[in-house]
Chain A
């Protein structure tokens, strides 16, 4: 109801203003026409209004009538009297023209515009900080730096909330519109995945925005993708989800999963992706088998004509690294970087591939490229720490991590890199402390709804550092009392064979962390 009152007021104001303009124009036109039609009468009318001036002008007229006035000295208005010196008008006409009134509409509209501009200035001042954030996001998006774009867009709501808290109230003219929210979702789709974007729509848009969401094709496509993924997952779970834990072979599981192909709302690409996941869970070290499964996934994805790189390229690149095929991994990462220069995980994978090839210079250039396209300093610290750890410059790793922790203490991966560094230097106490810190930060992020900190590498690294600290440490470090409880919290199924072999002494820490990929992948 309130909206319609506003609309009615706006329309009424426009109609009144237009009517005022038309009326004032008509009035002046009528007066001009009347003067034109009866030129002889004009002086008489003027004489009625101003008898004194009429007398003197009559005298002047009489004098003027006696001599002929050259045409170029005639008043341009009345055409009968001599014009004043330095003027185009005679004295009478000039006095009349000095009284030409400004129409009422002019006063109203002119000063209304002035007041509106004052309001506009204040409003622009209030929303400028939000607009600057949005413009930053647009700039990053235009350069395909989607994580930075997402970060900038998501900051706009923080800026708006801060503004509201400073002013002490919500102001209707300080509002983030559906257009900006849609840009934020698009940034999530490109920085993370369309599934994540579909998942975020409910959090970013409010119920009042349902009309916009239902009419926006991109948003609907993300929602559809999420629904399709969920229904594919449900169909696969029903067909044979538990088989993964019941001792079935990869072929049996694949047969069960493929039985849902072609069902309504089931995407074949997701089916093949889940086959790859099951194969990795059961046969993590059978690279040939995994290659075969990923090849089938890749073929199906490419046949669909859609971009599914976000779904499996990182996993496939990790497999190529384990198979010592860094060039194949780099090719995949380059394809992803062409679409998004802000994905730090892609840079990390490519960094590992370049270090595997021994191309340290290119790896350093890669980190410089990351800095060029991204403002996210915390991610750069992770890349630097990884680079120096893979280069064997352990003191440099400690220096970087110490500097990073002053501002970015919440990054689990930084603590993990430092833990591995201490492990390689056989400092088991410090290795455990940093691994414990990594576990704490990952848990904190998880409790805030972000499970990205809990990678397989982190889980296995924490396990290794904890177990080796129990075996070889002094037991006197700050959190040493938590070693036993931490070890008990692990189930054998969630640990990799490599981690178990390191703890059992079958392979050394150096063999895993200084050769090949130099990490637990």
Chain B
């Protein structure tokens, strides 16, 4: 499982690196200590940073989902730009080599960002326990956060097995061949 996870992270290197950056930035904003160690490596935290857990509900929620939202906001336009120009608009190297390369890279970076939307399981579990077991988060917050937190929790588990990477590889084949 670990090897599969690391391979998935290396395949989606841009997304992993940028995700780790957003996590690090979020920790800075929330004043959470961050361990040294770099963003990418052959360890279980590849593509994430080692940090202290937040002690408050909103901070824990932001830590778990904020970087994912950023990756999603950046990833979708890049992915769409690549896909739309390569498939519906049919740009080929014969039209313009630089444009073709830009769109291929845009699609790759966009998809790699979308493959790295979810945090480590521990991050979302911290919020989940705080909100729904210890009930430290107000009711309104718990209601609004439920669906995103549930999706993030499921996604975090799936990301352990690089399921999002496998999904996007299959989706890419289907999108471009059919």
Contact = CB atoms under 8 A, between A and B. Distances in A.
Interface of A: 3, 6-7, 10, 14, 21, 24-29, 31-32, 35, 77, 86-89, 93-94, 97-98, 100, 102-103, 105-107, 109-110, 113-114, 116-118, 120-121, 123-124, 127-128, 130-131, 134-135, 138, 172-173, 175-183, 208-209, 211-212
B40 A25 contact: yes
B88 to A, nearest CB: 4
Nearest to A96: B33
A109 B21 contact: yes
Contacts, number: 164
A178 to B, nearest CB: 5
A134 B89 contact: yes
Contact of B31 (A98, A117, A176): A98
Interface stretch (B1-9, B97-105, B127-135): B97-105
Closest A-B pairs by Cβ, 5 of them: A179-B90, A6-B98, A97-B33, A180-B90, A177-B91
B137 interface: no
A500 B95 CA distance: 56
A24 B90 contact: no
A392 B72 CA distance: 63
Contacts of B74: 113-114, 116-117
Describe A's contact surface by its main secondary structure.
helix
8 contacts: A3-B97, A6-B97, A89-B52, A131-B84, A134-B88, A177-B92, A179-B87, A212-B94
B80 A3 contact: no
Interface stretch (B22-30, B153-161, B165-173): B22-30
Contacts of A29: 37-38, 41
Interface string B57-87: 0000000000000000111011011001111
Interface string B96-124: 11110110011001100100000000000
A7 B94 contact: no
Contacts of B105: 10, 14
A128 B21 contact: no
Given A102-B28, A131-B88, A86 B55 contact: yes
B25 to A, nearest CB: 6
Nearest to B25: A102
Contacts of A211: 94
Nearest to B81: A120
Interface residues of B, number: 51
A131 B86 CA distance: 10
Given A7-B101, A100-B36, A211-B94, A116 B18 contact: no
Contacts of A10: 98, 101-102, 105
A256 B106 CA distance: 62
A133 B35 CA distance: 51
Contacts of A179: 86-87, 89-92
Contacts of A209: 94-95
A21 B18 CA distance: 11
B150 interface: no
Nearest to B91: A177
A267 B31 CA distance: 80
A117 B73 contact: yes
Contacts of A177: 85, 89-92, 95
B78 A116 contact: yes
Given A21-B17, A176-B90, A110 B22 contact: yes
A11 to B, nearest CB: 9
Contacts of A176: 89-90
Contacts of A89: 33, 52
Given A102-B21, A105-B17, A120-B78, 4 more contacts: A77-B35, A89-B52, A113-B18, A208-B94
